[in-house]
Amino acid sequence: MKPSDLDPLVDALESELRPYRDTHHTYTKLPASGRERWEILAEMRDLAQREEPKWRGGFASGAVYHGDAEHIAFLNEVYAVNSQSNPLHPELWPSAVKYEAEVVAMTASMLGGGEDGLPSVCGTVTSGGTESILLAMRTYRDQAREERGIREPEILVPVSAHAAFDKAAQYFGIELVPVPLDDEWRADARAAEDAVTSRTVAVVASAPGFPHGVIDPVEDLAEMARRRRLGCHVDCCLGGFVLPWAERLGYPVPAFDFRLPGVTSISVDTHKFGYAAKGSSVVLYRTNELRRYQYYRNATWMGGLYYSPTFAGSRAGALSAEAWAAMVAFGEEGYMIATQALLETAATIRKGIEAVPELYVLGDPLWVIAFASDEVDVYAVMDRMSARGWSLNGLQDPPAAHICVTLRHCQPGVAERFVADLHTSVEDVRHLPGSKGVMAPIYGMTGATKTRGTVEELLARYGDLQFKA
């Protein structure tokens, strides 16, 4: 496929990216004079209202994890109270310091840190799961350089781990060594140990991983890391605010947190199942010595002494205030109740998927449920689900799709509607041949044209589009 052959696909993607091209004015330069505030707000309310039905009605996989109108109104009020706050200036906003320190402490205490002989886990607030992961990987790189003289670091990353680990490897000049999965879609701990070299700085586990919602054998990986004196990062971006409560509710949750002596860092997203607004996460470290590698410090800058704990300089203190407010508003009891509803709804959905003879569930997930098929084209099923309003996540290698169950799906009738629509969608495509492709579906691309190079070119052009007015 020549780059020019991608034009029709790019056009199709563009109309999805820019549905307002023909209905709303596009600014390519500043308006000569400012518009009325009420008019701007009215336009924004119009756009937001058009976009809301999908996620509000529970048609989305993941994306909005709480979404109840009252909760959103509460968080919006919290933002309004703290809208000027910037943790870069603690002398002006010591409240931001309080909120962030307490978000870290509360999160650490949920995940095996804290008192009574447990490690005194520390951490920082970040802007999201990806930033938490990037920071942790850079921390291990710099620790290994300083303490072990490693110049060409490697990280062991299960192939089911989030793309953020590959992003970290690309950004920071770390070599990513892929770790295969076992039959249950969990990282193969023995293969990970076999892949350790003198340049290995850390091993990664997910609890659970994004694609299949499966929890890796963290205990084995962490113990191997401890024996070999490596870092062990557990990505709990999805699970950090679910698994502690699932465990207390009696669900089968394997050990995954700082109670395992080999676990040295954890990423955990307040902006997912912590039910905070988008833009906050936490990265936790077992020791303060390790966290120090994350800090940026400059003692000689003409602008003065400069220190910042994360990638950004100025940051929205209001987002940390929202994370704090969400956590304190829920409390342990609130998270337990939410988790029970979430896991019961997920069980209904999983059972519904398993009842479709052509589909099978990958691994043994709790609330992120991936399904594949040897008989029907699972991407065609996804297309049919999209036509019915659903927004699922397409997976590849093997072709599969998943639904990340959230509180949106706990609304009455949503799980049942999902199951009914899935049955009908499989009916719709039963006559089509099964999918043997290896790339996730992109409109109009056939198996023959879906080479990695063309897909990468398409993604680059999609990126160019994103910030074009």
Nearer to ligand PLP, 165 or 418 (CB): 165
Task: Mark out the alpha helices in 111-177 (DSSP H runs).
Answer: 129-148, 163-172
Nearer to ligand PLP, 209 or 437 (CB): 209
Residue 251, C-beta contacts closer than 8 angstroms, at least 6 positions apart? 343, 366
The tokens of 155 are what? Answer: 């990280």
Write the binding mask 275 to 304 for ligand PLP: x where contact by CB under 6 A, - elsewhere: ------x-----------------------
CA neighbor of 277 nearest in space, from 88, 123, 73: 73
Residue nearest to ligand PLP (CB): 129
Q: Which of these ranges, 34-42, 73-81, 124-132, 179-187, lies near ligand PLP under the rule CB under 6 A? A: 124-132
At closest approach, how far in Å is the CB of 333 from ligand PLP? 26
At closest approach, how far in Å is the CB of 299 from ligand PLP? 31
Pairing, β 400-404 against β 360-361: unpaired
Nearer to ligand PLP, 213 or 437 (CB): 213
DSSP 8-state symbol, 180: -
Write the binding mask 411 to 450 for ligand PLP: x where contact by CB under 6 A, - elsewhere: ----------------------------------------
Do the Cβ atoms of 462 and 10 come closer than 8 Å?
A: yes
Do the Cβ atoms of 84 and 92 come closer than 8 Å?
A: no
At closest approach, how far in Å is the CB of 115 from ligand PLP? 28
Residues 167-226 within binding reach of ligand PLP (CB under 6 A): 206, 209-210
Q: How far, CA to CA in Å, does 332 sit from each of 244, 248, 338, 405? A: 10, 11, 10, 20
Nearer to ligand PLP, 154 or 269 (CB): 269
At closest approach, how far in Å is the CB of 187 from ligand PLP? 13
Nearer to ligand PLP, 205 or 356 (CB): 205
CA neighbor of 246 nearest in space, from 136, 368, 414: 368
Measured CA to CA, the distance from residue 79 to residue 62 in angstroms comes to: 23
Member of 58, 67, 123, 128 binding ligand PLP (CB under 6 A)? 128
At closest approach, how far in Å is the CB of 267 from ligand PLP? 7
Nearer to ligand PLP, 265 or 435 (CB): 265
CA neighbor of 165 nearest in space, from 127, 132, 142: 132
The tokens of 158 are what? Answer: 């299960």
Nearer to ligand PLP, 164 or 439 (CB): 164
Q: Which of these ranges, 68-76, 123-131, 222-230, 300-308, lies near ligand PLP under the rule CB under 6 A? A: 123-131
The backbone region for 117, taken as left when phi is positive above 0, alpha when psi lies in -120 to 50, beta otherwise, is left
Member of 238, 370, 395, 410 binding ligand PLP (CB under 6 A)? 238
Do the Cβ atoms of 216 and 182 come closer than 8 Å?
A: no
Q: Which amino acid is at 196?
A: V
Contact between 162 and ligand PLP by CB under 6 A: the answer reads: yes
CA neighbor of 345 nearest in space, from 400, 277, 418, 276: 418
Residue 263, C-beta contacts closer than 8 angstroms, at least 6 positions apart? 112, 218, 222, 232, 234, 256, 257, 286
Number of residues forming the site for ligand PLP (CB under 6 A): 13
The tokens of 182 are what? Answer: 């076992």
Nearer to ligand PLP, 122 or 214 (CB): 214
Member of 87, 129, 274, 437 binding ligand PLP (CB under 6 A)? 129
Q: Is the dihedral of CA 383, 388, 394, 400 positive or negative?
A: negative
Nearer to ligand PLP, 364 or 428 (CB): 364
Q: Which of these ranges, 100-108, 184-192, 232-240, 416-424, lies near ligand PLP under the rule CB under 6 A? A: 232-240
Total length of the chain: 469
Nearer to ligand PLP, 162 or 408 (CB): 162
* Residue recorded with tokens 């300083």: 146
Do the Cβ atoms of 334 and 273 come closer than 8 Å?
A: no
Member of 237, 338, 439, 455 binding ligand PLP (CB under 6 A)? 237
Do the Cβ atoms of 295 and 266 come closer than 8 Å?
A: no
Q: Which of these ranges, 122-130, 390-398, 424-432, 445-453, lies near ligand PLP under the rule CB under 6 A? A: 122-130
* Residue recorded with tokens 């998270």: 335
Residues 260-279 within binding reach of ligand PLP (CB under 6 A): 269
Residues that bind ligand PLP (CB under 6 A): 128-130, 162, 164, 206, 209-210, 235, 237-238, 269, 281
